[in-house]
Amino acid sequence: MMRNIFLGFIRIHILHHANEGDIFGVWIMNELRRHGYSIGAGTLYPILHSLEKEGYLKRRDEVVNGKVRKYYRITEKGVNALEEAKPKIKELVEEVI
């Protein structure tokens, strides 16, 4: 059960940062670790791909140091989902904490 809860938190966290600017896998993995989430590439990249497939993120590829880096940015659908989640998150935090 805890894994599913944390995966939801991670998805919201990704949308939050993708709303602030372009993100890429290694950066968001480090950001999540900074917040106490122990997440590996085998978990993160499927989440990014599913958020893209579901229309919450859009991807652009850029060559960086000879390698293709995938940058993600939030879509309008992602912004709407994030905004819808914020009051629910606030209410939950206030109730639980």
Question: Please, are residues 73 and 18 in contact by the beta-carbon 8 Å criterion?
Answer: yes
- What are 53's two structure tokens? 């497939």
pLDDT given for residue 2 in this prediction: 81
User: In the chain, what are the domains?
Assistant: 2-96 (1.10.10.10)
pTM of the predicted protein model: 0.91
The angle at the Cα of 93, spanning 89 to 96, to the nearest 5 degrees, equals: 135
Helix (H, G, I), strand (E, B) or coil at 11: helix
pLDDT given for residue 92 in this prediction: 92
Taking only the tens of pLDDT, the chain with its 97 residues reads 888 889 999 999 999 999 999 999 999 999 999 999 989 999 999 999 999 999 999 999 999 899 999 999 999 999 999 999 999 999 999 999 9
| Nearest-angstrom CA–CA distance, 42 and 65 | 23
